[in-house]
Chain A
Amino acid sequence: MKRHAFLFSFGMVFIVFQACEHFEPVAPAENALLDGPVEGLSPAENIRFLKGDVAFNDDVFTASNGLGPLFVATTCGTCHPGDGKGHPFTTLTRFGQYDGTGNQYAHLGGPQLQHRALPGFAPEVLPDNVGFSKLTPPANTGLGFLDAVRDADIMAWADPNDNDGDGISGVPNWIVMKEYITARDGTIEHEGKYIGRFGKKAAAYDLHQQTAQAYNEDIGITSTYEPMDTHSGLLIDPEITDQTIHDVVFYLKTLKAPIPRAAHRDEIISGKAVFEQIGCAKCHRSEMKTGDSPIAAIANKTFHPYTDLLLHDMGADLDDGYTEGSATTSEWRTPALWGLGLSKFSQGGDYFLLHDGRAKSIDEAILWHGGEAANARAQYKSLTSTEKNKLIQFLESL
């Protein structure tokens, strides 16, 4: 008996110690995840990435470390789960600007509605009869690549007067540069304004501006960059360090680009051909290059985001009567389509596409296209169902 018991317990312990890792859940495939760093970071860069990751995903704001008093959510990661698109619960509302003359409702809490508040405080309410847009959080993947594209390239894709006569006239959003932003090398200025590239209206110059504003307007956290408390309108002490902002910016810059799945399958290759044929790729540009970057892993790289970083008039159906920068109310920046197929795994199992999440499927998103994209939509509608199917499979593989 004793010997059996001894052998049995020794055996159990031995097996468990030897084989423990085989009994743990395996990692999802790399191309099934949006989060994770770009390949080729140095150990020092990995350390910075991890610090930014913690600040982005794990630092939860509460009343005791600065949340609010007015806010929309309590962490960056709530709205961008797994660095993917957000759920309608985290959709935010902006209001009060109709044209290039700026926001007319700053005195009533514009541009962003903070519709949640700490206990005891009253959240903002949307003023009557004001134009507003609802904005569903986009994915944050591959942004470092988009950030490192040269202004000159973006200008080269623009065609404000539609000189090529294809009905598509992309324009950059000319924005006022925040005083705390350091301009990129070779940045292009136009009447004192600069090219914006982040956000649904491309109203943020770079990831630093996007991050400082997100802390401030989405979470109610002031910084030396954005020191105004959204509740009192007063300039107050920073509630977050400059270092944390830089770490988060570094994290956003070094998030990997989404990796396509099954790109070599026949249907997907022919789906891609359809995409190009019917003119989708005129706005959703498949290929571009980065310029120089202090981060070697993203410098001078070719990548495939399916955007042109330009604004397009999308027609009356997508015109909410709200805008930012020099964009008109019906203009939206072409969203990158990379990672599209993984959207539903961060949006709770369903698609919520387009700027406000109104489209519940890729097909529906395409059918909302109008304005400059009316022609592409018409061509899409005339596709056979097999062709449509292949196109959608291609988009889901991104």
Chain B
Amino acid sequence: MKKMYMISIMVLLSFTTIAQIDATLLKRVTQDTVAMKLNMDAVYNRPFLTMAKIPVALGGYVEANWQHLGTDGISEGHQFQMRRLTLFVASSIYKRIKFLSEIEFEDGTKEINIEFASVDIEFHPLFNLRGGIVMNPIGSFNQNHDGPKWEFIDRPISATQMLPATWSNVGFGVFGKLYRKEWVYAYEMYLTNGFDDQIVSNEENKTFLPASKKNPDRFEESFNGVPLVTAKVALGKRQVGEVGVSYMGGVYNKFQDDGLVIDKKRRVHVFALDFSTTLPFLSTWLNAEAAWVKVDVPNTYSQHYGRNQMGAFVDLVQPVFKGTVFGFERSVLNVALRTEYVDWNKSRFEETGTHIREDVLAVVPGLSWRPTAQTVIRLNYRYQWQTDLFGNPASKTAGFQIGFSSYF
């Protein structure tokens, strides 16, 4: 019991120590707030620190939390998690040549990933070249995934367990933007290395695009020599919001090896729709993403591995208080609600003609407090129903999570 009080006090203390960093040593680069930002700008739209005259800007964010979740009466107990530490380094190499990299340490040092490392050359606002490790612009979350931007401790299931966020690959591409009065039009298109056959052969026992992230060679060679195409168009209106439509597709299997045919070419297609807006009157922020996956799974393989998937999340964030709390003059308290759903196998059993399930539904109400825009302290309560392939009674998981995420 004593432990509990200690922990509560520590959590509270950590709220106050954030204010004690001497901010005068480092200069914060203020973000360009006049130009309208889209999800595609998220990589640069971050707080960076610069020192004296060095042309390199540094930044990063950290996320940590406590949680106490239980499934069908079996509790995991108290868990303290260091979900991620991410470092960004950006530099302006020359006039319109920029470099940015993002390195992420997940779950301590269990996973270390280069999420992004690319050089951008601007020839014209409508025509920029980008090469290196890029984040494939599928949906909005993949590009705009920084912890401090979200009111929820868990990343959306549809974005990380169906779509493979964060999903970056080596490749090249072009992007551009056009501003017309209140509107901005944007496009992106990349050719990168792609998926491999682990998407239909993995320990999740279901079609699982994120399984390809386990391939350690994917930054060095393509699994089958066929590029993955990712393309997105987005439309934004100042004060209103943004919609994006994106596609990603390619061949995922090895159809020949050493010149010998070992299978036919099998494709994966992903479509995504994203939308965000601030609703009038109450300034409720609504952010949603939906995606559809289609995979050519051989007929003679198992229906266990779904050919069609669908997933979505909708976040609603309602600011309920703006003002001074603990001396933070511009702090904001929000109530938030996430609803998310994924169906990993949208089809019918050949044997019975009934729906194959393998789906999850979750609702996550939460409270978040932002002492500044860059830092969020969040309390979430998750309730989740997970149904197996056959539609047997769902296993239920629920519990509280408390954590913070902050840029530094």
Contact = CB atoms under 8 A, between A and B. Distances in A.
A28 B349 CA distance: 28
Interface in B319-361: 323-327, 349-352, 354, 357
A180 interface: no
A89 B390 contact: yes
Contacts of A375: none
Contacts of B367: 12
A10 B15 CA distance: 11
Given A17-B4, A89-B303, A349-B391, A25 B398 contact: yes
Nearest to A2: B326
B392 A81 contact: yes
A27 B74 contact: yes
B397 A25 contact: yes
B92 to A, nearest CB: 41
23 contacts: A2-B325, A9-B369, A13-B402, A16-B68, A16-B379, A18-B4, A23-B398, A24-B73, A24-B75, A64-B201, A74-B205, A87-B349, A87-B389, A87-B390, A89-B349, A91-B351, A117-B301, A119-B266, A346-B390, A346-B392, A347-B392, A348-B357, A348-B391
Contacts of B369: 9
Contacts of A9: 12, 15, 369
A397 to B, nearest CB: 18
A379 B71 CA distance: 46
Interface in A342-394: 345-349
Contact of B300 (A21, A74, A122): A122
Contacts of B17: none
A130 B114 CA distance: 58
B202 A62 contact: yes
B302 interface: yes
A345 B391 CA distance: 9
A63 B204 CA distance: 13
Interface in B246-267: 253, 262-263, 266
A348 B354 contact: yes
B72 interface: yes
Interface string A1-35: 11001100110111011101101111110000000
Contact of B197 (A82, A119, A348): A119
Given A27-B74, A88-B349, A60 B203 contact: yes
A62 B398 contact: no
A348 B392 contact: yes
A344 B15 CA distance: 51
B12 A349 contact: no
Contact of A14 (B8, B323, B398): B8
Interface in A18-62: 18, 20-21, 23-28, 60, 62
A123 interface: yes
Given A5-B325, A24-B69, A26-B73, A73 B201 contact: no
A116 interface: yes
A25 B4 contact: no
A208 to B, nearest CB: 26
B349 A25 contact: no
Nearest to B385: A25
A71 B69 CA distance: 36
A74 B73 contact: no
A86 to B, nearest CB: 9
Contacts of A122: 300
Contact of B71 (A20, A25, A63): A25
Interface residues of B, number: 58
Given A73-B304, A74-B302, A16 B400 contact: yes
Nearest to B203: A60
A264 B260 CA distance: 68
Interface of A: 1-2, 5-6, 9-10, 12-14, 16-18, 20-21, 23-28, 60, 62-64, 67, 71, 73-75, 78, 81-82, 87-89, 91, 116-123, 345-349
B300 A116 contact: yes
A189 B304 CA distance: 43
A124 to B, nearest CB: 10
Given A25-B73, A89-B390, A16 B12 contact: no
Contact of B388 (A5, A23, A81, A119): A81
A28 B400 contact: no
A60 to B, nearest CB: 5
A235 B262 CA distance: 24
Interface in B1-21: 4, 7-8, 11-12, 15
Given A78-B205, A119-B301, A120-B263, A345 B68 contact: no
B351 A88 contact: yes
Nearest to A26: B73
Given A23-B400, A27-B74, A62-B202, A13 B8 contact: yes
Interface string B15-44: 100000000000000000000000000000
B70 A21 contact: yes
Given A73-B302, A120-B263, A348-B391, A10 B203 contact: no
Given A20-B400, A23-B398, A75-B205, A89 B352 contact: yes
B393 interface: yes
A116 B303 CA distance: 9
4 closest A-B pairs by beta carbon, nearest first, are A27-B73, A24-B70, A348-B390, A25-B396
Nearest to A28: B72
A17 B323 CA distance: 27
A5 B253 CA distance: 56
Contacts of A81: 388, 390, 392
B124 to A, nearest CB: 45
Contacts of B7: 17
A75 B202 CA distance: 12
B225 interface: no
B201 A345 contact: no
A184 to B, nearest CB: 35
Contacts of A20: 68, 399-400
Given A81-B392, A117-B301, A24 B402 contact: no
A81 B69 CA distance: 23
B390 A347 contact: yes
B391 A117 contact: no
A97 to B, nearest CB: 24
